[in-house]
Amino acid sequence: MNIKLSDNFTYKKLLLFSFPSIIMMIVESIYSVVDGFFVSNFVGKTPFAALNFIMPALMIMGSLGFMFGTGGSAIIAKTMGEGDNKKANELFSLFVYVAIGIGIVIEVVGFIFMPSLAKMLGAEGEMLKECVIYARLILTALPFYLVMFEFQSFFVTAEKPKLGLIVMIISGVTNMVLDALFIIVFKWGLAGAAIATAIGQIIGGVVALMYFFKENDSLLRLTKPLFDAKSLLKVFTNGSSELVANISISFVSMLYNMQLMKYVGEDGVAAYGVLMYVNLIFLNVFFGYCVGSAPIISYHYGAKNQDELKNLLRKSVIIICSFSALIFIGAQIFSLPLAKIFVGYDNELLKLTLRGFMIFAFSFFFTGISMFGSSFFTALNNGLVSALISFLRTFIFQFAAVLLLPIWMGVDGIWLSIVVAELMSVVITILFVIKFRKKYDYI
């Protein structure tokens, strides 16, 4: 079925168009998890803790790719909906080239200051050494990492979501194969995991760039960019929710790690790492749907098709709620086998991980609504509201909960904090949707 952004979307069309993005994000999360699996089982607990300890800082650096992808796609799709395809391609090229330039700058600065950053976060001894090695190797691929994640949204906007999935599979399979080779065969330890990930990211970025540089039958192609300072600024405001979310999640993850070190020690950091890996897989179902549906919303917003906006919002809420129930059930069923994959070698760590996971899983009932709400406002080019939802959800609510709940509930309070934060974010999201219903006429 050839589905276009301009179509009237049924449930079937909406799911079919979004499905490649959902699978793409799941594949991305799985190959991110592969590093943790190989390091935990074949390198050791301390390198595994080091990987999880420094990962939030690396996610902050890489979050610009999400910002340019989601923020840029909203502008490009809206421009296409207004009928100006030439300008859409010029802006597309501008956003890609600027992202590459920023990636190079961050790569150099991050490489230089990584030891100081790791020390500031609290790493010391062998963990500090492992953190720096892993981070510096990952940073070598940062510009390609930014491009790869930027193109996750751009492939959808170009009406080629399946190509985005193919690129992610190529990158992910490369990472998985090289993980096994470098860690198990060559015995390169944590460095092997970093090199495997970096190579996978480079390949993913290069393949995507090659496609858009060559003649293609998609709606987008890299060409001479149009320098438009206003549109570039709009990317930062439109995509700020994704940037804020990734930065906030990374800072809060650091806080979780510090709290767990205080209450449980290194085992707590390792258990939290497992939860984050599994959580990433489940949350990427929601994120994939947001990536797949956002350009459709932006297109019809640009085309001033209010009836289709109402249709998209109504159907999306039903789809997200259905996903939420299925993901919670899946989390309860697969918690034990998933935990055993990572920490089955240590019974006490396995018990701690399972306890945390059973509490943590209740957050899946609420997460999808606030994630989609933020994405919906990004697609409507209202970056301020989108960023506010993300900031409250991923930083303020979680920060307060993870600091306060453990005082009364101990370690269980740390696991429960995400549930409380997500519930509060749903309330805020609903209030924003009601507040702006007349401005955008989507209800």
- pLDDT tens sequence across 197-247: 999 999 999 999 999 998 888 889 999 998 888 888 888 877 777 677 777
Instruction: Report the C-alpha gap between 23 and 36 in whole angstroms.
Output: 20
Model-level pTM? 0.81
pLDDT-based confidence at residue 366 (cuts at 50, 70, 90): very high
pLDDT-based confidence at residue 105 (cuts at 50, 70, 90): very high
Instruction: Report the C-alpha gap between 375 and 352 in whole angstroms.
Output: 34
The more confident residue out of 342 and 50 is: 50
CB atoms within 10 A of CB 290: 29
Q: Helices H, strands E: what count in the chain? A: 17, 0
Per-residue tokens: 168: 């992610």
Residue type, 403: L
Contacts of 209 (CB under 8 A, 6+ apart): 96, 147, 222
Domain boundaries, the chain: 11-440
pLDDT-based confidence at residue 1 (cuts at 50, 70, 90): low
Query: What would you measure as the largest C-alpha separation in the chain, in angstroms?
Result: 61
- How confident is the model at residue 395, as a pLDDT? 83
Burial class (CB in 10 A: 0-12, 13-18, 19+), 10: exposed
Whether residue 325 is predicted with pLDDT greater than 70 in this model: the reply is yes
